[in-house]
Structure 1
Amino acid sequence: MGSDAIALPAVRFLQEQKAVCEVVGVFSQPDRPSGRGKHLHANPVAAWALENDITLLRPERLSAGEVAWLREAAVDLIVVMAYGHILKPDLLAVPPLGVVNLHSSLLPKYRGASPIVGAIASGEEATGVTLMEIVPEMDAGAIIDQEIVPIKPAETAIEITEKIADACIPLLERTLSALLSVKYSKTEQDKTQASYTRKLKKEDGQLDFGLTAEELVNRHRALQPWPGSFFEYDNIVLKVGDCATDTIAEQPAECGTILEASEKGIAIQTASGAILIKKIQRPGGKMLSASDFLRGFHLETGIALNYKPSTPLVSQEPFPRKKKNP
């Protein structure tokens, strides 16, 4: 069960293990509109299943029909990664070998919808993927095994997503035979060490200069490719392509003050230190180096930019779920 491209290496690996198991079906999200024309497109996992002539089920919601299909197909084990549906107890009870999930963090840290974002935004030097049992509580199942993925200082969520996808292969190589025989050891999660992430929103990309420069740079790295980072100048939204903490001397300026706009970049005061914008884009324009951008766009130093306090990306308590309309 999966929908996002991050699950493809794991799906391909399982399909190749024909000597010990058979992938009898793939559950994925329905086609969604995407691209400029907003035409319907299959997600990467669904497209892979179609290309390989594997039975594909794409329910809008999991129902009794899908549970019946699993029983009829005599499914022994379900492996889940980035699927996008909550699995209810009646479905979890079907496969005799259980239901396991590949979660993109080193649990119990960063449960929830955006674990890669949470780890990078928090300044972690490593994250990884956890193979875990699925239980009704979100990402709270027992840990079977983990694969560690280092995070380099300049890496964004784009690079880390690719590394975590690839890390699923050695993890499954170590554990597949044990999963198929239910002869694996497991460790219950320490709930006192749990942290939680949430779904991202477009407004998460707006730079909050009330944070520290280091926090802003980490958040920028975490929010690539969407929603990215941006700030407003004179009611114009300017997109940030690259940034770093600045070595400019401490100045008595309020948060959001433009301290410098030069060949080096655009330095803006934060709660601690300054953030240096190195690449920037105006609406309808190309992403440019700060020096090239400033040749055609004037930024006045000394003024304080307007900004809104950001919503945390990580919490020590579960984020409240948005209620669905009946």
Structure 2
Amino acid sequence: MPSPLRIIYAGTPDFAVPALEALIASPHDVVAVYTQPDRPAGRGRKLTPSPVKQVALAHGIPVEQPERLRPEPVQVRLREYRPDLMVVAAYGLILPQSVLDIPRLGCVNIHASLLPRWRGAAPIQRALAEGDESTGVTLMQMAAGLDTGDMLLKGVCPITPADTARTLHDRLAAMGAALLLPCLDDLADGRLHPEPQDETLATYARKLDKAEALLEWSLPAAVLDRRIRAFNPWPVAQTLYQGQPLRLWMSRSLPAAGTGATPGTVVAEGPEGIDVATGEGILRITCLQLPGGKPLEAKAFLNARSLLGTCLGDDGGKAC
């Protein structure tokens, strides 16, 4: 068993919590946590600590929240912790080379994809939206580029037809935590053999944009279904109904049917869902939400209204 490591942990959102908790429960010493500054949240826009900060404070771990890591005083402070290693998970700040060089064993990143596929900010959502059959977690020795460092360890996670970005997020966060501790022991003992990434296979997972959430009904049902699930829980896919945004939380794609209906037309409805014609096949909406309301299963939604014959989308919910 290698000697315990002095670790600085850098992370911000929920995704980074399981790995931090695993480190806290391990023999290693988490000497400090770096996280994003508190941000306004909720209806009152009250300054709220990140999920990672809340865990750190609950365990009495020092918390640092610099706006940037480039200023010399920030780097001096980081050196004072004398870290053997820095573990990074969805931190949200760029680590300059001068920071990467501070820990004795460098910096290890927990990335939610099978690198080099889906480098960047939204790997979970892009894998789901593009129809990947599987994704996973890569533990990577960090370099100055965007997710370009050598790979240390991988875990593979199948993507099911019922998965959303939330369900994948939760499984991958747990997987990252499970991979981390054995990886650190092997890294400390020099048993790991870092694998360079194949640049010819690299893809970029650009940040999500709210504008992407507006569905185009001319697309195939299978594509629309993946987007709905990829945008759950944010930014949530939507269409127009009676001139108002109708949010679509869950769906499934049905085999192509020759309805001849205009894409966006509601061609059937019932307890199992609301069937909408698309550019190819039928999209069955199973959970949706009106403005000011809460998400409802299709059966409950249809108790108060019928959408049959309605054109969703640019026509604003008029009869077809």
Identify whether the pair has TM-score above 0.5, normalized to the shorter chain: yes
| Cα displacement string for residues 202-228 of structure 1 (whole angstroms, at most 9, x for unaligned residues) | 222222213211111111111111111
In structure 2, the partner of 1:117 is 125
The alignment partner of 1:260 has SS state of strand
Distance 2:312 2:32 in 1: 56
Q: Which moved more, 1:92-101 or 1:279-288?
A: 279-288
In structure 2, relative to structure 1, the CA distance for the partners of 1:102 and 1:296 (3 Å cut) is same
**Corresponding letter in the other structure for 1:6:** F
1:26 paired with 2:53, answer no
User: Is the 8 Å Cα contact of residues 12 and 51 (structure 2) preserved in structure 1?
Assistant: yes
In structure 2, the partner of 1:90 is 98
Shift of 1:273: 0.8
1:166 paired with 2:177, answer no
In structure 1, the partner of 2:20 is 11
The alignment partner of 2:117 has SS state of coil
Shift of 1:158: 1.2
Shift of 1:285: 2.4
In structure 2, relative to structure 1, the CA distance for the partners of 1:50 and 1:222 (3 Å cut) is same
Partner of residue 217 from structure 1, selected from 222, 225, 238 = 225
User: Is the 8 Å Cα contact of residues 213 and 272 (structure 1) preserved in structure 2?
Assistant: yes
Distance 2:107 2:210 in 1: 33
Q: Which moved more, 1:291-300 or 1:202-211?
A: 291-300
In structure 1, the partner of 2:287 is 279
Q: CA RMSD in A?
A: 1.9
In structure 2, the partner of 1:321 is none
In structure 2, the partner of 1:130 is 138
In structure 2, relative to structure 1, the CA distance for the partners of 1:93 and 1:270 (3 Å cut) is same
What is the identity percentage for the equivalent residue pairs of Structure 1 and Structure 2?
A: 38
Aligned residues: 305
In structure 2, the partner of 1:59 is 66
Distance 1:274 1:123 in 2: 17
User: Is the 8 Å Cα contact of residues 254 and 304 (structure 1) preserved in structure 2?
Assistant: no
Partner of residue 143 from structure 1, selected from 145, 151, 175 = 151
User: Is the 8 Å Cα contact of residues 267 and 308 (structure 2) preserved in structure 1?
Assistant: no
In structure 2, relative to structure 1, the CA distance for the partners of 1:254 and 1:179 (3 Å cut) is same
Distance 2:26 2:308 in 1: 61
In structure 2, the partner of 1:2 is 11
Q: Which moved more, 1:94-103 or 1:167-176?
A: 167-176
Which is richer in strand? 2
In structure 2, relative to structure 1, the CA distance for the partners of 1:259 and 1:172 (3 Å cut) is same
User: Is the 8 Å Cα contact of residues 239 and 312 (structure 2) preserved in structure 1?
Assistant: no
1:47 paired with 2:54, answer yes
Distance 2:272 2:104 in 1: 61
In structure 2, the partner of 1:318 is none
Distance 2:227 2:192 in 1: 37
Distance 2:311 2:136 in 1: 42
| Cα displacement string for residues 63-112 of structure 1 (whole angstroms, at most 9, x for unaligned residues) | 22221112222112111001000111111111121111010011111110
Shift of 1:180: 2.1
In structure 2, relative to structure 1, the CA distance for the partners of 1:210 and 1:64 (3 Å cut) is farther
Distance 1:109 1:299 in 2: 40
The alignment partner of 2:11 has SS state of coil
Partner of residue 76 from structure 1, selected from 73, 84, 89 = 84
1:233 paired with 2:266, answer no
User: Is the 8 Å Cα contact of residues 256 and 280 (structure 2) preserved in structure 1?
Assistant: no
Gaps of 5+ in 2: 1-9, 316-320
In structure 2, relative to structure 1, the CA distance for the partners of 1:154 and 1:300 (3 Å cut) is closer
Gaps of 5+ in 1: 308-326
